[in-house]
């Protein structure tokens, strides 16, 4: 397996309390996040979202899709959401939320390993392309969330 660690920051003129429920509501990501092809809920989890489990399929600029299951393993209201992934990506994803004056700041840390054989075989050559692709998908999310917040 090849390991990747990506860190992304999004900043919006909004309150964390406005952004939080949109990020937490993963089943509706396909409505605003280009690249999220499908979300199938597997388990709703606790009322706060802990234990929520979903199967996600993502498409990107490159001609492939990635599917994985994400289970929410930690929630600190308005501060942090962490999930563990299994499938074509294995590892953790964590959203960090903070308020900096009039801006809601979201930081996403994605620490995963790829499991598809072809990705691992070509990783020494394609690692920069995979990073570029990840950054593009995250930019789609940033723009989609920004548009949703301004509706």
Instruction: State the average pLDDT over residues 75-99.
Output: 98
What is the tens place of the pLDDT at every residue in 36-58? 999 999 999 999 999 999 999 99
pLDDT band at 4 (very low <50, low <70, confident <90, very high): very high
Angle between the N-to-C axes of helices 16-24 and 117-149, in degrees from 0 to 180, rounded to the nearest 10: 140
Q: Taking the domains of the chain in order of start, what are their residue ranges?
A: 2-149
Percent of the chain beyond pLDDT 70?
Answer: 100
Nearest-angstrom CA–CA distance, 50 and 33: 22
pLDDT score of 82 more than 90? yes
Nearest-angstrom CA–CA distance, 134 and 56: 15
pLDDT score of 12 more than 90? yes
pLDDT given at position 88: 97
pLDDT score of 101 more than 90? yes
pLDDT given at position 151: 80
Nearest-angstrom CA–CA distance, 58 and 131: 15
As a whole number, the mean pLDDT across the chain is 97
> CATH number of the domain at 2-149, please?
3.30.530.20
């Amino acid at each position: 397996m090849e390991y990747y660690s990506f860190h992304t920051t999004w900043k919006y003129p909004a309150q964390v309390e406005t952004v939080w429920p949109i990020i937490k509501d993963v089943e509706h990501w396909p409505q605003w996040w280009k690249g999220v092809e499908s979300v199938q809920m597997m388990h709703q989890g606790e009322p706060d979202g802990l234990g929520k489990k979903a199967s996600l399929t993502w498409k990107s600029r490159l001609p492939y899709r990635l599917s994985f299951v994400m289970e929410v393993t930690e929630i600190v209201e308005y501060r942090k959401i962490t999930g563990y992934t299994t499938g074509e990506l294995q590892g953790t994803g964590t959203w960090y939320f903070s308020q900096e004056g009039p801006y809601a700041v979201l930081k996403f840390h994605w620490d995963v390993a790829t499991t598809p054989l072809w990705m691992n075989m070509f990783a020494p050559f394609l690692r920069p392309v995979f990073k570029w692709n990840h950054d593009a998908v995250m930019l789609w999310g940033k723009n989609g969330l920004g548009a949703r917040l301004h509706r």
